[in-house]
Structure 1
């Protein structure tokens, strides 16, 4: 399956953002259980993060990102890219 990268920047106050982090974490664990090999994290410097995952297509990747609680609740702006791996 192709890999996809969601690169995000926060749009809301940290207090609001943090309310949705547990739901985001649970969502990523669901993705892992479904075989998407998801990984998520944030930049060491304040202000954004990334989620890396496998999906069958760009359409599926878009649906996965749209269902992320951080996206669904308007906490982040994001870019979605298919990642073409050169060396494994």
Structure 2
């Protein structure tokens, strides 16, 4: 499986964003359980973050991102990139 990165920037106020964080965390835990090796976090200075995960194709990666509660509820804008690992 290939690695993908969703780089995101918050586009709503913090109270709105925070109400969807528990659903996002549960969603990422579900990805981990399904073998996508997902990791999520935010930038220390706030205002954005990243989701790192594995998927079998770009189409699957797009579907994974679209199912994220932060995307579904319009909390973030994002870029999706396939990450080519050079050294493991």
TM-score, normalising length: structure 1? 0.99
Q: 1:31 matched to which residue of 2?
A: 31
Q: 1:52 matched to which residue of 2?
A: 52
Q: 1:16 matched to which residue of 2?
A: 16
Secondary structure of 1:82's match?
strand
Q: Structure 1: any 5+ residue segments left out of the alignment?
A: none
Q: 1:5 matched to which residue of 2?
A: 5
Aligned-residue Cα RMSD (Å) equals 0.3
TM-score, normalising length: structure 2? 0.99
